């Protein structure tokens, strides 16, 4: 009588699938947090630089400058709201 060893391929496949999913979750966590930090830093300093340039007396005379200043202020607030 020949001995037959049964191998349940479903268990083996699920093990590797769960291992891959946990690695993907780890990468997703790092990308999400690092991406948020990079966008926050670049956006914050970019808006501050924009405000410093646009608030010069010579540029404040133009009406479009007032809109750009308001945009930079609101954008900075949105960046802080997203970062929290």
For the segment 14-50, what is each residue's pLDDT rounded down to a tens digit? 666 666 667 777 777 788 888 888 989 999 999 999 9
Length of the chain (residues): 84
CA distance 47 to 72: 5
Which pLDDT score, from 0 to 100, does residue 59 have? Answer: 79
Which pLDDT score, from 0 to 100, does residue 60 have? Answer: 80
Residues 6+ apart with CB under 8 A from 68: 50, 54
Which pLDDT score, from 0 to 100, does residue 3 have? Answer: 60
Which pLDDT score, from 0 to 100, does residue 73 have? Answer: 95
- Tell me the pLDDT of the chain averaged across its residues: 81
**CB 51 within 8 Å of CB 72:** yes
Greatest mean pLDDT among 3-12, 13-22, 55-64 = 55-64
Quote the tokens at residue 8: 């349940």
């Amino acid at each position: 009588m020949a001995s037959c060893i049964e191998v349940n391929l479903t268990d083996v496949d699920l093990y590797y699938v769960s291992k891959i999913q946990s690695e993907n979750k780890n990468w997703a966590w790092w990308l999400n947090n690092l991406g948020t930090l990079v966008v926050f830093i670049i956006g914050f300093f970019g808006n501050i630089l924009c405000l410093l340039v646009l608030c010069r007396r010579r540029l404040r005379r133009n009406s479009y400058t007032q809109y750009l200043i308001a945009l930079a202020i609101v954008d900075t607030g949105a960046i802080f709201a997203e970062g929290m």
